[in-house]
Amino acid sequence: MDLHWTDGFEICVSVKDNSTVISANREGLLSLADHLRMLAEEPFGSHIHLDEFNALEEGSSSLILEKAGPMKKYEEVRIKDGRWTCILKDMTMQEDGQIPLIRKTAFAPAEWYEYGLAKDGAGYETYRWCENDLYSDSDYTRRVPKKTLIREFEALIPLFTRENREDDAERCRTMIKDLQNRIEKEIIPLSGTLRERISQMIRTAAEPVSQEELFRFYGFSEENRFFLHPQAALFYQNFGHLFYHLRPVFEKESQAKEFCFTFCCDDPDLAEEMKEDIGKIAEPVCPIGRIGYGFPAAVYMAEDGRLLCLHDYEDELLTFPALEDLLEHELCGNVPRGLIRAEELL
């Protein structure tokens, strides 16, 4: 977190008679208020550590502010669903920072699934095979979209309703609303015109490409006998990891999966497909990948840096001077409203 301090702040922390005293001037209190506001939006387990060597007055005791998980405690409740026993967990945070929400267990064979929130607020799914050692290598814990957790709660509601357990059904609805709110809060908003939003997306979602990955791009291009020129290499260096970890979201949930930004070096089948269409272009080009929405364009780059695009649904070769121009064409009518972690769109 990037902490913002009000000029002239003074903060002292002391422990007296088993009580902790935080003394601060006006600027210090404003600073702490700002830190608490920022911490409230961070994942569970996030913390701010202050001491006399870091912002507090000389002689101060250390102060740790931590974002905790839900304080409300629930009782575990169970319900049968065929061979599965579904358990709503009590939502106690574990030592590793995880908060289990649902566990599904079965016998003959013995196995279980668990769904919950990881320390950083992401969803997780754990599977364990308990019958014997035969399939023990199938055990896993993986990150899943919070929408996966929502679907698990949705599946429990009719089970509780059928047994007239309305309190437990309402508990599931409450958790669904909480997860939906978490997803919405994690969206990085975009604003302005479509062009302005595209510029914001590129600035926010672009990540540096390592030298090793750049060499991999060179090697892939050489192996496939692509015409690799400096402009194509620079394009990959600047945008090779664009949208790797942050993906655009739109008004409709289904629209996010329609957006494509894939380089040939990440999809060998795509590389073979694009090789076949190079002959449709009258000048030397380097295949880049597929970029766009719905039916994304096959994108090639000319020596002067122009992006040349072919769509499956038309024969015309479209030319764009820059990535922003290409994205503006592809997203016309499908304006992104924000960015979210890619794992939430799996």
In this prediction, what percent of the chain has a pLDDT beyond 70? 97
- In the numeric block, which tokens belong to residue 170? 């309402």
Cis peptide bond prior to 109, omega within 30° of 0: yes
Rg (CA), the chain: 26
Q: Which helix (H) or strand (E) holds 265?
A: none
pLDDT at position 19 = 87
Instruction: Give the other-Cβ count within 10 Å of 230's Cβ.
Output: 9
What is the distance between the alpha carbons of residues 147 and 29, in angstroms, rounded to a whole number?
38
pLDDT at position 295 = 85
- Domain boundaries 194-345, corresponding CATH code: 3.40.1580
Which residues share a beta bridge with 175?
Answer: none
Domain ranges of the chain: 11-66, 77-186, 194-345
Q: How confident is the model at residue 141 (pLDDT cuts 50, 70, 90)?
A: very high
Which range among 5-9, 227-231, 251-255, 285-289 shows the weakest confidence by mean pLDDT? 251-255
Best mean pLDDT range from 1-15, 71-85, 295-309: 295-309
8 A C-beta contact, residue 21 and residue 13:
yes
pLDDT at position 95 = 83
In this predicted structure, the answer to whether residue 239 has a pLDDT above a threshold of 90 is yes
Residue 290, helix vs strand vs coil? strand
pLDDT at position 346 = 62
